[in-house]
Amino acid sequence: MNDAAVDHHTLRSERLRRVRQRMGELGVDALLLSHGADLPWLTGYRAMPLERLTLLVLPARGDPVLLVPALEAPKLPETGADVAVRAWTDFEDPLSLASDILGPDSDRCLALSDRAWATTLLGLQQRFPAARFVLSSSVTAPLRAVKDRAEIAALRRAAEAADRVAGALQAAEIAVAGRSEADVSRDISAALVAEGHRRVNFALVGSGPNGASPHHDAGNRVIVEGDLVVCDFGGEFVPQGEEVGYCSDITRTVAVGEPGEEVLLCYSVLQAAQAVGVAAARAGARAEDVDAAARTVIADAGYGNRFIHRTGHGIGIEEHEDPYLVAGNRTPLVAGHAFSVEPGIYLPDRFGMRLEDIVVVGDDGPEPLNRADHGLAVVEP
Domain boundaries, the chain: 8-143, 146-379
Q: Give the residue-averaged pLDDT of 340-365.
A: 98
Work out whether the CA dihedral 204, 210, 213, 218 comes out positive or negative. Answer: negative
Residue 4: pLDDT band with limits 50, 70, 90: very low
Task: Give one DSSP letter per residue of 237-267, joined into a string.
Answer: E--TT-SS-EE--EEEEEEES---HHHHHHH
Residue 79 has pLDDT above 80, yes or no: no
CA distance 104 to 95: 13
Contact 55, 45 (CB under 8 A): no
- Parallel, antiparallel, or unpaired for β 84-88 and 65-69? parallel
Mean model confidence pLDDT for the chain: 94
pLDDT in tens, 243-289: 789 999 999 999 999 999 999 999 999 999 999 999 999 999 999 99
Question: Three-class SS of residue 216?
Answer: coil
- Architecture field, domain 146-379: Alpha-Beta Complex (3.90)
Backbone angles phi and psi of 245, in degrees to 5: -80, 150
Does residue 354 contact residue 342 with C-beta atoms inside 8 Å? yes
* Distance between CA atoms of residues 355 and 204, nearest Å: 13
Question: 10: Cβ–Cβ under 8 A, 6 or more apart, which residues?
Answer: none
Write down the pLDDT at residue 351: 98
CA dist 262 and 131 (Å) reads: 60
In whole angstroms, what is the distance from residue 375 CA to residue 370 CA?
Answer: 13
> Over pLDDT 90: what percentage of the chain?
88
Residue 80: pLDDT band with limits 50, 70, 90: low
Tens digit of each residue's pLDDT (9 = 90 or more) over 97-113 = 999 999 999 999 999 99
Q: Is it the case that residue 3 has pLDDT exceeding 50?
A: no
Nearest-CA neighbor of 73 among 58, 57, 89, 93?
89
- The strand ranges marked E within 64-212 are 65-69, 84-88, 109-112, 132-135, 197-207
Topology of the domain covering 8-143: Creatine Amidinohydrolase; Chain A, domain 1 (3.40.350)
Residue 118, pLDDT > 60, answer yes
Angle at the Cα of 291 (from 288 to 297), degrees rounded to 5? Answer: 140
Burial of 166: CB neighbours in 10 Å, binned 0-12, 13-18, 19+: buried
CA angle 101, 103, 106 (to 5 degrees): 140
Nearest to 246 by CA among 354, 148, 126: 148
95 closest CA partner among 154, 38, 52: 52
User: What distance in Å separates the CA atoms of residue 166 and residue 346, rounded to the nearest whole number?
Assistant: 21
